[in-house]
Amino acid sequence: MSAAPVQGPAGNPLCPPEWLALREPADAAARSAALADAVAAVLSPGPLLVRDLGCGTGSMGRWLAPRLPHDQHWVLHDRDPVVLSRAVAALPPGVTAEAGPGDLTGLGPADLAGTSLVTASALLDLLTAQETDALAASCAAARAPALLTLSVSGRVRFHPAEPLDAGLAAAFDAHQRREAGGRRMLGPDAPAVAAATFARHGATVRTADTPWRLGPDRPALLREWLAGWLDAACVQDPALAVHVPGYLQRREAALAAGTLRVEVGHVDLLAVPGERS
C-alpha cells in the first residue's frame, strides 16, 4: 500500500489515521493533475457518481473533487469503519457522500452500475492479479473510467546513496509481493499488471510517474516511511537486521544535516473504456 505500506504499525493491513494524515500532503503533491484533468474531460455531463475504493480518511476526494465538474455524489468504500466515518464527513463543501460496502473484492458490474468514475489511491499494490482483473472487468461492464493513483512502483532513490540501498529495496519489494491470507499481492508489479489488464478489457490506458520527493521539508513523513521500509525489508530478509542500526544512524545524521533526499516511486493510471463494438 503505497510507499510505506502500512509499516507503521508494520504489517497491519488497516492504515492508522495518523499515518494517513501524515502522508496526505505528499500524496497531493505527487498525484498527476494532468490525468485528473483528462478524466474530467471525458466524464458525461450531469450529476456524477464517484466511487472511491479504499478511501481511508478521504484524501483522494479532497484532492480530486475540486478538479471535477460540480454536482458530485461520492460513495466511499473502506473496511476500517473509523477512517470511513471520517472520510464521509470530510469531503469538500457541496459534495455529498455516503459509506459503501467495505469488501472491495466483492464489487461486481452490478455494484458499479450508474457509476461515473471509479477512483482509488495507494490500492492497486494490495490487490492480486485476479482482483485487478475483476476490477477492470467491472469497470468495463459499467462503462466507468478508473483513476487509480499512487501505486507503489518499487523505484526508491536515495541521495546520498549507500551500498545497502539495493539490498534493502529488493527485500522490501519481495515483502510487498508476499502471500498473505492465501492472497499474493502485486506489490510493485501493480502498475504494469493493471495497465495491461485494463487494456485487455478494452480501455485506453495512460500512466504517469508520480513519486514522493521527501527531504528535510517533510522530516516526519520521511522518518516514518524509512522506519516502515526497513521493518518490512528485515521481515523479508532477517539477515539485513544487523546492518540496520548503523544504516539508520547515518540516514538520521544526513536528515539532521539537511542533505538527505529520497524519491519513492509511484504510478498513477487512468483507464477510459473503449467504444462498444
Note whether residue 250 is domain-resident: no
Which of 94, 95, 50 minimizes the C-alpha distance to 76?
50
The SS3 assignment for 217 reads coil
Note whether residue 248 is domain-resident: no
153 pLDDT tier (thresholds 50, 70, 90):
very high
Give the pLDDT confidence of 128-150 residue by residue, as tens digits: 999 999 999 999 999 999 999 99
The SS3 assignment for 191 reads helix
Note whether residue 81 is domain-resident: yes
Note whether residue 5 is domain-resident: no
Give the pLDDT confidence of 256-274 residue by residue, as tens digits: 999 999 999 999 999 999 8
CA 89 to CA 104: how far, in whole Å?
21
What cell was used for 165? 540501498
45 pLDDT tier (thresholds 50, 70, 90):
confident
Note whether residue 249 is domain-resident: no
Mean pLDDT of 241-270: 97
- CB 15 within 8 Å of CB 6: yes
Give the pLDDT confidence of 60-117 residue by residue, as tens digits: 999 999 999 879 999 999 988 888 988 999 999 989 999 987 777 778 888 899 999 9
Which of 99, 213, 199, 196 minimizes the C-alpha distance to 156?
213
Which domain CATH number covers 119? 3.40.50.150
Note whether residue 242 is domain-resident: no
Give the domain extent around 99: 17-153+184-212+265-273
- How many structural domains is the chain composed of? 1
Note whether residue 61 is domain-resident: yes
Mean pLDDT of 241-246: 97
pTM, two decimals, is 0.92
